[in-house]
Amino acid sequence: MNERDLKLEEALSSQLGVDGNDYMFTTKQVFLVRVNLVILKLLLEERKKRGIAVVLDRPHGYLAHLLTLHKIDQTNLSYIDTVAKFSGDCVFEDPKKVIYTNGPFHVELLLNAFSEGYTDDFQTKVIDISEVDFIIIDNIATALTYNTMESIAMCCEALRKLAEEHGILCVVGIDPDAHRSLYSLLKGYMTNEIKIEERWLRG
Amino acid sequence: MDNVAEEAWESREEGEELQKSEIFRIPSGIPGLDDMIEGGFPFPSVVLVAGSAGTGKTTFSLQFLFAGAENGEQGLFFTTLSEPTHWMLQYSSNFSFVKKEYFGNLVRYVDMGSMLNRPVDEILSYINEKIAETMPQRIVIDPVTIIGNIVRDNYRKFLFDLTNSLKSWQAVTLLTGEVKPGEMYPVEVSYAADSVILLSLKAEGNARRKYLEVLKMRGTDHRTGAYPVSITREDGFVVLRARF
Protein backbone atom coordinates (compact mmCIF):
# COMPACT_ATOMS: atom_id res chain seq x y z
CA MET A 1 0.00 0.00 0.00
CA ASN A 2 1.46 3.34 -0.99
CA GLU A 3 1.97 6.43 1.11
CA ARG A 4 -1.14 8.08 -0.31
CA ASP A 5 -3.33 5.18 0.88
CA LEU A 6 -1.65 5.10 4.27
CA LYS A 7 -2.60 8.75 4.72
CA LEU A 8 -6.16 7.88 3.73
CA GLU A 9 -6.10 5.12 6.34
CA GLU A 10 -4.90 7.57 8.94
CA ALA A 11 -7.74 9.97 8.12
CA LEU A 12 -10.32 7.15 8.24
CA SER A 13 -8.93 5.84 11.49
CA SER A 14 -9.80 9.09 13.23
CA GLN A 15 -13.44 8.79 12.04
CA LEU A 16 -14.44 5.15 11.90
CA GLY A 17 -15.77 3.58 15.08
CA VAL A 18 -15.60 6.78 17.09
CA ASP A 19 -19.34 7.54 17.26
CA GLY A 20 -21.21 4.25 17.33
CA ASN A 21 -21.29 1.31 15.02
CA ASP A 22 -22.95 2.07 11.72
CA TYR A 23 -21.25 4.19 9.11
CA MET A 24 -22.01 5.38 5.63
CA PHE A 25 -19.04 6.86 3.83
CA THR A 26 -19.48 8.98 0.75
CA THR A 27 -17.07 9.32 -2.13
CA LYS A 28 -17.11 9.30 -5.91
CA GLN A 29 -18.08 5.92 -7.29
CA VAL A 30 -14.68 5.48 -8.93
CA PHE A 31 -12.98 5.58 -5.52
CA LEU A 32 -15.23 3.10 -3.69
CA VAL A 33 -12.96 0.10 -4.25
CA ARG A 34 -9.91 1.97 -2.99
CA VAL A 35 -11.66 3.28 0.12
CA ASN A 36 -13.08 -0.18 0.89
CA LEU A 37 -9.60 -1.68 0.64
CA VAL A 38 -8.13 0.91 2.99
CA ILE A 39 -10.98 0.37 5.49
CA LEU A 40 -10.37 -3.38 5.38
CA LYS A 41 -6.69 -2.83 6.07
CA LEU A 42 -7.55 -0.58 9.00
CA LEU A 43 -10.00 -3.05 10.52
CA LEU A 44 -8.18 -6.31 9.82
CA GLU A 45 -4.62 -5.25 10.50
CA GLU A 46 -4.49 -2.17 12.66
CA ARG A 47 -7.48 -3.04 14.81
CA LYS A 48 -7.21 -6.84 14.52
CA LYS A 49 -10.97 -7.21 13.95
CA ARG A 50 -12.87 -10.16 12.45
CA GLY A 51 -15.28 -9.41 9.69
CA ILE A 52 -17.52 -10.23 6.74
CA ALA A 53 -17.30 -8.61 3.30
CA VAL A 54 -20.59 -8.80 1.41
CA VAL A 55 -19.72 -8.52 -2.28
CA LEU A 56 -22.46 -7.42 -4.64
CA ASP A 57 -20.76 -6.22 -7.80
CA ARG A 58 -17.93 -8.67 -8.49
CA PRO A 59 -16.82 -12.09 -7.31
CA HIS A 60 -15.04 -12.06 -3.95
CA GLY A 61 -11.90 -13.40 -5.63
CA TYR A 62 -11.10 -9.91 -6.89
CA LEU A 63 -11.24 -8.37 -3.46
CA ALA A 64 -9.29 -11.30 -2.03
CA HIS A 65 -6.67 -10.89 -4.76
CA LEU A 66 -6.40 -7.16 -4.05
CA LEU A 67 -5.94 -7.82 -0.36
CA THR A 68 -3.28 -10.44 -1.10
CA LEU A 69 -1.36 -8.12 -3.41
CA HIS A 70 -1.44 -5.40 -0.82
CA LYS A 71 -0.27 -7.93 1.78
CA ILE A 72 -3.32 -7.46 3.96
CA ASP A 73 -3.90 -10.41 6.26
CA GLN A 74 -7.23 -12.10 5.42
CA THR A 75 -7.20 -14.71 8.14
CA ASN A 76 -10.10 -13.02 9.90
CA LEU A 77 -12.14 -12.12 6.83
CA SER A 78 -15.03 -14.16 5.40
CA TYR A 79 -17.26 -13.39 2.45
CA ILE A 80 -20.86 -13.48 1.40
CA ASP A 81 -20.44 -13.67 -2.37
CA THR A 82 -23.59 -12.83 -4.31
CA VAL A 83 -22.05 -12.61 -7.76
CA ALA A 84 -19.67 -15.52 -8.38
CA LYS A 85 -22.36 -17.91 -9.56
CA PHE A 86 -23.31 -15.87 -12.57
CA SER A 87 -20.25 -13.76 -13.22
CA GLY A 88 -18.66 -15.95 -15.89
CA ASP A 89 -15.33 -15.95 -14.10
CA CYS A 90 -16.38 -17.55 -10.87
CA VAL A 91 -13.87 -19.49 -8.88
CA PHE A 92 -15.45 -21.60 -6.18
CA GLU A 93 -12.69 -21.81 -3.71
CA ASP A 94 -12.27 -22.12 0.01
CA PRO A 95 -15.98 -22.68 0.74
CA LYS A 96 -15.29 -22.56 4.45
CA LYS A 97 -14.73 -18.84 4.28
CA VAL A 98 -17.32 -18.01 1.63
CA ILE A 99 -21.09 -18.22 1.43
CA TYR A 100 -22.18 -18.26 -2.21
CA THR A 101 -25.69 -17.00 -2.71
CA ASN A 102 -27.72 -17.66 -5.85
CA GLY A 103 -27.33 -14.10 -7.05
CA PRO A 104 -27.50 -10.52 -5.82
CA PHE A 105 -31.30 -10.72 -5.64
CA HIS A 106 -33.29 -10.43 -2.41
CA VAL A 107 -30.65 -8.55 -0.47
CA GLU A 108 -33.14 -8.42 2.40
CA LEU A 109 -32.33 -12.09 3.03
CA LEU A 110 -28.54 -11.79 2.99
CA LEU A 111 -28.13 -11.11 6.64
CA ASN A 112 -30.24 -14.14 7.51
CA ALA A 113 -26.86 -15.83 7.44
CA PHE A 114 -26.57 -14.54 11.00
CA SER A 115 -29.82 -16.03 12.23
CA GLU A 116 -31.28 -19.11 10.52
CA GLY A 117 -28.32 -19.55 8.18
CA TYR A 118 -27.84 -19.56 4.43
CA THR A 119 -27.68 -22.63 2.24
CA ASP A 120 -25.31 -22.65 -0.72
CA ASP A 121 -24.08 -25.52 -2.89
CA PHE A 122 -21.75 -26.68 -0.20
CA GLN A 123 -23.67 -26.55 3.03
CA THR A 124 -25.97 -24.54 5.26
CA LYS A 125 -23.97 -22.02 7.16
CA VAL A 126 -24.88 -19.93 10.11
CA ILE A 127 -22.44 -17.18 10.89
CA ASP A 128 -21.71 -17.02 14.59
CA ILE A 129 -22.51 -13.44 15.45
CA SER A 130 -20.14 -13.48 18.39
CA GLU A 131 -17.24 -14.03 16.01
CA VAL A 132 -17.96 -11.01 13.85
CA ASP A 133 -16.72 -7.52 14.65
CA PHE A 134 -17.57 -5.80 11.38
CA ILE A 135 -19.49 -6.06 8.08
CA ILE A 136 -18.60 -4.14 4.96
CA ILE A 137 -20.79 -4.04 1.85
CA ASP A 138 -19.14 -3.66 -1.57
CA ASN A 139 -21.08 -2.09 -3.11
CA ILE A 140 -24.66 -1.35 -2.08
CA ALA A 141 -25.50 0.67 -5.21
CA THR A 142 -25.18 -2.49 -7.30
CA ALA A 143 -28.15 -3.88 -5.39
CA LEU A 144 -30.34 -1.32 -7.18
CA THR A 145 -29.94 -3.24 -10.41
CA TYR A 146 -31.49 -6.40 -9.02
CA ASN A 147 -33.62 -5.37 -6.07
CA THR A 148 -36.54 -3.17 -5.15
CA MET A 149 -35.96 -0.24 -2.86
CA GLU A 150 -38.04 -2.04 -0.25
CA SER A 151 -35.59 -4.97 -0.28
CA ILE A 152 -32.66 -2.61 0.11
CA ALA A 153 -34.44 -0.80 2.94
CA MET A 154 -34.96 -4.14 4.72
CA CYS A 155 -31.28 -4.97 4.25
CA CYS A 156 -30.34 -1.59 5.76
CA GLU A 157 -32.68 -2.22 8.66
CA ALA A 158 -31.02 -5.60 9.30
CA LEU A 159 -27.63 -3.90 9.21
CA ARG A 160 -28.71 -1.27 11.70
CA LYS A 161 -30.00 -3.96 14.05
CA LEU A 162 -26.68 -5.80 13.87
CA ALA A 163 -24.95 -2.57 14.78
CA GLU A 164 -27.36 -1.61 17.56
CA GLU A 165 -28.04 -4.97 19.15
CA HIS A 166 -24.74 -6.74 18.67
CA GLY A 167 -22.23 -3.89 18.46
CA ILE A 168 -21.07 -4.96 15.01
CA LEU A 169 -19.39 -2.20 13.03
CA CYS A 170 -21.30 -1.84 9.73
CA VAL A 171 -19.76 0.07 6.83
CA VAL A 172 -21.48 1.03 3.59
CA GLY A 173 -20.02 3.27 0.89
CA ILE A 174 -21.95 5.28 -1.67
CA ASP A 175 -21.54 8.03 -4.24
CA PRO A 176 -24.32 10.49 -3.35
CA ASP A 177 -24.13 12.23 -6.72
CA ALA A 178 -24.48 9.01 -8.69
CA HIS A 179 -27.20 7.44 -6.52
CA ARG A 180 -29.14 10.22 -4.87
CA SER A 181 -32.26 8.27 -3.96
CA LEU A 182 -30.29 5.41 -2.43
CA TYR A 183 -28.18 7.94 -0.55
CA SER A 184 -31.40 9.47 0.82
CA LEU A 185 -32.54 6.04 1.93
CA LEU A 186 -29.22 5.21 3.61
CA LYS A 187 -29.23 8.52 5.43
CA GLY A 188 -32.43 7.37 7.09
CA TYR A 189 -30.76 4.25 8.43
CA MET A 190 -27.09 4.93 9.05
CA THR A 191 -26.29 6.99 12.11
CA ASN A 192 -22.92 8.30 10.99
CA GLU A 193 -21.75 9.75 7.71
CA ILE A 194 -18.10 10.08 6.78
CA LYS A 195 -17.49 12.31 3.82
CA ILE A 196 -14.25 11.19 2.19
CA GLU A 197 -12.45 14.43 1.51
CA GLU A 198 -10.56 14.94 -1.71
CA ARG A 199 -7.39 15.85 0.17
CA TRP A 200 -7.48 12.43 1.89
CA LEU A 201 -7.59 10.75 -1.50
CA ARG A 202 -4.80 12.84 -2.93
CA GLY A 203 -2.57 12.07 0.03
CA MET B 1 -40.81 -0.05 4.32
CA ASP B 2 -40.72 1.21 7.90
CA ASN B 3 -40.99 4.75 9.23
CA VAL B 4 -37.33 5.49 8.92
CA ALA B 5 -37.32 4.55 5.27
CA GLU B 6 -40.48 6.54 4.63
CA GLU B 7 -38.92 9.59 6.22
CA ALA B 8 -35.88 9.08 4.05
CA TRP B 9 -38.07 9.01 0.96
CA GLU B 10 -39.83 12.14 1.97
CA SER B 11 -36.57 13.97 2.46
CA ARG B 12 -35.46 13.28 -1.09
CA GLU B 13 -35.47 16.05 -3.64
CA GLU B 14 -38.69 16.69 -5.51
CA GLY B 15 -39.11 14.78 -8.73
CA GLU B 16 -36.33 12.36 -7.95
CA GLU B 17 -36.86 8.90 -9.41
CA LEU B 18 -36.47 6.16 -6.86
CA GLN B 19 -36.43 2.82 -8.54
CA LYS B 20 -34.26 2.99 -11.58
CA SER B 21 -30.58 2.21 -11.38
CA GLU B 22 -28.90 4.62 -13.74
CA ILE B 23 -25.68 3.54 -15.38
CA PHE B 24 -22.83 5.44 -13.79
CA ARG B 25 -20.59 7.17 -16.32
CA ILE B 26 -17.24 8.88 -16.32
CA PRO B 27 -16.35 11.72 -18.69
CA SER B 28 -14.27 10.60 -21.65
CA GLY B 29 -12.05 13.67 -21.60
CA ILE B 30 -12.66 14.09 -25.35
CA PRO B 31 -14.48 17.37 -26.05
CA GLY B 32 -17.63 16.72 -28.08
CA LEU B 33 -17.77 12.96 -27.42
CA ASP B 34 -19.70 12.93 -24.14
CA ASP B 35 -22.62 14.71 -25.80
CA MET B 36 -22.87 11.74 -28.17
CA ILE B 37 -22.88 9.06 -25.45
CA GLU B 38 -25.20 10.27 -22.67
CA GLY B 39 -22.44 11.95 -20.69
CA GLY B 40 -19.52 9.54 -20.74
CA PHE B 41 -18.31 5.96 -20.76
CA PRO B 42 -20.29 3.47 -18.62
CA PHE B 43 -18.31 2.56 -15.49
CA PRO B 44 -17.00 -0.10 -15.44
CA SER B 45 -16.73 -1.07 -19.09
CA VAL B 46 -14.33 -2.01 -21.85
CA VAL B 47 -14.15 0.22 -24.90
CA LEU B 48 -12.49 -0.72 -28.18
CA VAL B 49 -10.99 2.30 -29.94
CA ALA B 50 -10.22 1.01 -33.43
CA GLY B 51 -8.49 2.72 -36.31
CA SER B 52 -5.70 2.53 -38.81
CA ALA B 53 -2.33 4.25 -38.34
CA GLY B 54 -2.58 8.00 -37.84
CA THR B 55 -6.22 8.15 -36.77
CA GLY B 56 -5.38 9.27 -33.23
CA LYS B 57 -5.88 6.14 -31.10
CA THR B 58 -2.97 6.80 -28.77
CA THR B 59 -3.77 10.51 -28.47
CA PHE B 60 -7.40 9.67 -27.66
CA SER B 61 -6.27 7.21 -24.99
CA LEU B 62 -3.76 9.53 -23.36
CA GLN B 63 -6.27 12.35 -23.25
CA PHE B 64 -8.72 9.97 -21.53
CA LEU B 65 -6.12 9.17 -18.86
CA PHE B 66 -5.04 12.76 -18.27
CA ALA B 67 -8.66 13.91 -18.00
CA GLY B 68 -9.13 11.36 -15.21
CA ALA B 69 -5.93 12.50 -13.49
CA GLU B 70 -7.38 16.01 -13.34
CA ASN B 71 -10.10 14.55 -11.09
CA GLY B 72 -7.65 12.57 -8.98
CA GLU B 73 -8.37 9.30 -10.81
CA GLN B 74 -5.53 6.83 -11.22
CA GLY B 75 -4.58 5.93 -14.79
CA LEU B 76 -2.57 2.96 -16.06
CA PHE B 77 -1.23 2.74 -19.60
CA PHE B 78 -0.04 -0.64 -20.90
CA THR B 79 1.92 -0.31 -24.07
CA THR B 80 2.48 -3.38 -26.20
CA LEU B 81 4.39 -1.57 -28.93
CA SER B 82 7.94 -2.54 -29.69
CA GLU B 83 8.69 1.19 -29.67
CA PRO B 84 10.29 2.23 -26.36
CA THR B 85 7.82 4.04 -24.09
CA HIS B 86 10.03 7.11 -23.86
CA TRP B 87 9.69 7.76 -27.59
CA MET B 88 5.94 7.57 -27.40
CA LEU B 89 5.96 9.92 -24.39
CA GLN B 90 8.31 12.33 -26.08
CA TYR B 91 5.84 12.80 -28.93
CA SER B 92 2.78 12.91 -26.70
CA SER B 93 4.27 15.45 -24.29
CA ASN B 94 3.76 18.12 -26.96
CA PHE B 95 0.03 18.10 -26.28
CA SER B 96 -1.17 20.77 -23.88
CA PHE B 97 -3.36 18.25 -22.01
CA VAL B 98 -0.26 16.30 -20.96
CA LYS B 99 0.74 17.50 -17.51
CA LYS B 100 4.17 16.19 -16.71
CA GLU B 101 3.56 16.23 -12.96
CA TYR B 102 1.14 13.31 -13.45
CA PHE B 103 3.77 11.04 -15.04
CA GLY B 104 4.71 8.19 -12.76
CA ASN B 105 1.95 8.83 -10.23
CA LEU B 106 -1.59 9.46 -11.51
CA VAL B 107 -0.60 8.34 -15.01
CA ARG B 108 1.61 5.27 -14.92
CA TYR B 109 3.14 3.38 -17.81
CA VAL B 110 3.82 -0.32 -18.12
CA ASP B 111 5.87 -1.52 -21.08
CA MET B 112 4.64 -5.02 -21.91
CA GLY B 113 7.10 -5.61 -24.73
CA SER B 114 9.09 -8.22 -22.83
CA MET B 115 5.95 -10.08 -21.71
CA LEU B 116 4.51 -10.75 -25.13
CA ASN B 117 6.42 -13.94 -25.86
CA ARG B 118 5.09 -15.53 -22.65
CA PRO B 119 2.08 -17.89 -22.40
CA VAL B 120 -1.37 -16.27 -22.43
CA ASP B 121 -2.04 -17.04 -18.77
CA GLU B 122 1.16 -15.28 -17.74
CA ILE B 123 0.28 -12.21 -19.79
CA LEU B 124 -3.12 -12.07 -18.09
CA SER B 125 -1.63 -12.55 -14.63
CA TYR B 126 0.89 -9.81 -15.32
CA ILE B 127 -1.86 -7.37 -16.37
CA ASN B 128 -3.96 -8.28 -13.34
CA GLU B 129 -1.06 -7.82 -10.95
CA LYS B 130 -0.20 -4.41 -12.32
CA ILE B 131 -3.85 -3.36 -12.03
CA ALA B 132 -4.13 -4.65 -8.48
CA GLU B 133 -0.94 -2.84 -7.46
CA THR B 134 -2.07 0.46 -8.95
CA MET B 135 -5.86 0.27 -8.46
CA PRO B 136 -6.60 2.45 -11.49
CA GLN B 137 -9.96 3.86 -12.43
CA ARG B 138 -8.81 4.29 -16.05
CA ILE B 139 -6.79 1.74 -18.01
CA VAL B 140 -5.44 1.71 -21.56
CA ILE B 141 -3.95 -1.24 -23.44
CA ASP B 142 -2.37 0.16 -26.59
CA PRO B 143 -2.70 -1.70 -28.91
CA VAL B 144 -4.35 -4.94 -27.80
CA THR B 145 -4.31 -6.34 -31.33
CA ILE B 146 -0.53 -6.88 -31.11
CA ILE B 147 -1.26 -9.56 -28.50
CA GLY B 148 -3.66 -11.18 -30.98
CA ASN B 149 -0.89 -11.44 -33.55
CA ILE B 150 1.24 -13.29 -31.04
CA VAL B 151 -1.16 -15.58 -29.18
CA ARG B 152 -3.25 -16.42 -32.29
CA ASP B 153 -5.09 -19.67 -31.34
CA ASN B 154 -5.99 -18.56 -27.83
CA TYR B 155 -6.89 -15.01 -28.75
CA ARG B 156 -10.67 -15.28 -28.26
CA LYS B 157 -10.30 -16.91 -24.87
CA PHE B 158 -7.64 -14.39 -23.93
CA LEU B 159 -9.93 -11.50 -24.86
CA PHE B 160 -12.88 -12.99 -23.00
CA ASP B 161 -10.82 -13.53 -19.84
CA LEU B 162 -9.16 -10.14 -20.18
CA THR B 163 -12.35 -8.11 -20.62
CA ASN B 164 -14.11 -10.04 -17.88
CA SER B 165 -11.39 -9.36 -15.36
CA LEU B 166 -10.96 -5.73 -16.47
CA LYS B 167 -14.59 -5.02 -15.65
CA SER B 168 -14.32 -6.72 -12.30
CA TRP B 169 -11.45 -4.42 -11.36
CA GLN B 170 -13.93 -1.52 -11.50
CA ALA B 171 -12.35 0.64 -14.17
CA VAL B 172 -13.03 1.90 -17.66
CA THR B 173 -10.53 0.32 -20.04
CA LEU B 174 -9.73 1.49 -23.53
CA LEU B 175 -8.35 -1.24 -25.77
CA THR B 176 -6.92 0.27 -28.89
CA GLY B 177 -7.05 -1.86 -32.00
CA GLU B 178 -5.17 -1.56 -35.23
CA VAL B 179 -7.33 -1.99 -38.30
CA LYS B 180 -5.90 -4.09 -41.11
CA PRO B 181 -6.44 -3.13 -44.76
CA GLY B 182 -9.92 -4.23 -45.85
CA GLU B 183 -11.12 -4.63 -42.28
CA MET B 184 -13.56 -2.18 -40.65
CA TYR B 185 -12.45 -2.96 -37.08
CA PRO B 186 -10.87 -5.90 -35.22
CA VAL B 187 -13.84 -8.24 -35.07
CA GLU B 188 -12.66 -10.50 -32.23
CA VAL B 189 -12.14 -7.55 -29.90
CA SER B 190 -15.46 -5.96 -30.84
CA TYR B 191 -17.35 -9.00 -29.52
CA ALA B 192 -15.56 -8.87 -26.20
CA ALA B 193 -15.84 -5.09 -25.73
CA ASP B 194 -18.89 -3.25 -24.39
CA SER B 195 -18.32 -0.36 -26.76
CA VAL B 196 -16.71 0.18 -30.14
CA ILE B 197 -15.46 3.56 -31.32
CA LEU B 198 -14.14 3.68 -34.84
CA LEU B 199 -11.55 6.27 -35.88
CA SER B 200 -11.04 6.62 -39.59
CA LEU B 201 -9.41 8.64 -42.35
CA LYS B 202 -11.41 9.59 -45.41
CA ALA B 203 -10.07 11.06 -48.60
CA GLU B 204 -11.67 14.42 -49.45
CA GLY B 205 -10.16 16.07 -52.49
CA ASN B 206 -6.43 16.10 -51.95
CA ALA B 207 -6.63 15.69 -48.20
CA ARG B 208 -7.53 12.97 -45.74
CA ARG B 209 -9.80 13.96 -42.90
CA LYS B 210 -10.19 12.22 -39.56
CA TYR B 211 -13.56 10.93 -38.32
CA LEU B 212 -15.00 9.30 -35.21
CA GLU B 213 -18.01 7.01 -35.14
CA VAL B 214 -19.60 5.26 -32.16
CA LEU B 215 -20.55 1.83 -33.53
CA LYS B 216 -21.69 0.24 -30.30
CA MET B 217 -22.05 1.27 -26.66
CA ARG B 218 -23.98 -1.03 -24.37
CA GLY B 219 -26.63 0.62 -22.22
CA THR B 220 -26.23 3.89 -24.08
CA ASP B 221 -28.48 5.73 -26.46
CA HIS B 222 -25.56 6.97 -28.56
CA ARG B 223 -25.50 9.10 -31.66
CA THR B 224 -24.76 7.34 -34.89
CA GLY B 225 -22.83 8.47 -37.93
CA ALA B 226 -19.27 9.65 -38.53
CA TYR B 227 -18.28 12.96 -36.95
CA PRO B 228 -15.20 14.90 -37.99
CA VAL B 229 -12.41 15.29 -35.48
CA SER B 230 -9.45 17.56 -35.17
CA ILE B 231 -6.19 16.79 -33.39
CA THR B 232 -4.01 19.73 -32.44
CA ARG B 233 -1.30 20.29 -29.86
CA GLU B 234 -3.32 23.02 -28.23
CA ASP B 235 -6.73 21.29 -28.00
CA GLY B 236 -5.80 17.64 -28.33
CA PHE B 237 -8.44 15.28 -29.74
CA VAL B 238 -11.77 17.09 -30.33
CA VAL B 239 -14.99 15.79 -31.91
CA LEU B 240 -16.42 18.57 -34.05
CA ARG B 241 -20.14 19.24 -34.07
CA ALA B 242 -20.88 19.03 -37.77
CA ARG B 243 -21.77 15.56 -39.01
CA PHE B 244 -20.84 14.28 -42.46
Q: pLDDT tens across B217-231, in order?
A: 999 999 999 999 999
Write out the E strands in B154-225: 172-178, 195-204, 207-217
**Partner B contacted by A30 (CB < 8 A):** yes
Cα–Cα distance between A59 and B137 in angstroms, integer? 18
Q: What angle do CA B41, B75, B163 make, to 5 degrees?
A: 55
| Total length of chain A | 203
Q: What is the mean pLDDT of chain A?
A: 87
**Partner B contacted by A3 (CB < 8 A):** no
Which residues, other chains included, contact A194 with Cβ-Cβ below 8 Å and sequence gap of 6+? A12, A15, A16, A23, A24, A25, A26
In B, minimum Cα distance to A199 occurs at B72
In A, minimum Cα distance to B26 occurs at A30
Cα–Cα distance between A140 and A190 in angstroms, integer? 13
* Coil vs helix vs strand at A195: strand
For residues B9 and A114, the model is more confident at A114
In B, minimum Cα distance to A188 occurs at B8
- Chain A residues with CB inside 8 Å of B71's CB? 28
pLDDT of residue B244: 52
Cα–Cα distance between A169 and A175 in angstroms, integer? 20
- 8 Å CB contact of B168 and A87: yes
Share of residues in chain B with pLDDT > 90 (%): 53
Render pLDDT for A3-34 as a digit per residue (tens, 0 to 9).
Answer: 888 899 999 999 998 778 999 999 999 999 99
Render pLDDT for B10-50 as a digit per residue (tens, 0 to 9).
Answer: 554 444 444 455 789 999 999 999 999 999 999 999 999 99
In B, minimum Cα distance to A64 occurs at B132
- Chain B residues with CB inside 8 Å of A150's CB? 1, 5
Nearest to A33 among B22, B128, B135 (CB): B135
Name the CATH superfamily, with its identifier, for domain B22-226: P-loop containing nucleotide triphosphate hydrolases (3.40.50.300)
pLDDT of residue B16: 45
Threshold 0.90, pTM exceeds: no
* Interface ipTM above 0.90: no
From B228's Cα to the closest Cα of chain A, the distance in A is: 31
* Coil vs helix vs strand at B216: strand
- Chain B residues with CB inside 8 Å of A88's CB? 164
pLDDT of residue B15: 41
Inter-chain Cβ pairs, chain A and chain B, closer than 8 A: 91
pLDDT of residue B120: 87
- 8 Å CB contact of A185 and B129: no
Q: How confident is the model at residue A90 (pLDDT cuts 50, 70, 90)?
A: low
- 8 Å CB contact of B72 and A201: yes
pLDDT at A93 exceeding the cut of 70 = no
The domains of chain B are located at 22-226
pLDDT at B92 exceeding the cut of 90 = no
- Chain B residues with CB inside 8 Å of A180's CB? 12-13, 16
pLDDT of residue B18: 44
In B, minimum Cα distance to A177 occurs at B24
* Beta bridge pairs of residue A172: A24, A137
> What radius of gyration do chain A's Cα atoms show?
16
pLDDT of residue B17: 44
**Partner B contacted by A188 (CB < 8 A):** yes
Q: Which amino acid is at B84?
A: P
pLDDT of residue B6: 57
pLDDT of residue B27: 97
- Chain A residues with CB inside 8 Å of B18's CB? 149, 181
Looking at residues A139-168, what average pLDDT do you find?
Answer: 91
| Residue ranges of chain B whose CB lies within 8 Å of a chain A CB | 1-2, 4-5, 7-9, 11-13, 16-22, 24, 26, 43, 71-73, 128-129, 132-133, 135, 137, 161, 164-165, 167-170
Q: Of all helices (H) and strands (E), which one includes residue A118?
A: strand A118-119
Render pLDDT for A128-141 as a digit per residue (tens, 0 to 9).
Answer: 889 999 999 998 99
DSSP-H helix ranges across chain A: 3-13, 32-41, 60-69, 143-146, 149-166, 180-189, 198-202
For residues B174 and A99, the model is more confident at B174
pLDDT of residue A17: 86
Render pLDDT for B97-115 as a digit per residue (tens, 0 to 9).
Answer: 999 899 888 999 998 888 8
Cβ pair B42, B23 in contact under 8 A? yes
From B39's Cα to the closest Cα of chain A, the distance in A is: 13
- 8 Å CB contact of B5 and A157: yes
Cα–Cα distance between A170 and B127 in angstroms, integer? 33
- Chain A residues with CB inside 8 Å of B7's CB? 188
For residues A87 and B82, the model is more confident at A87
Q: What is the mean pLDDT of chain B?
A: 87
**Partner B contacted by A6 (CB < 8 A):** no
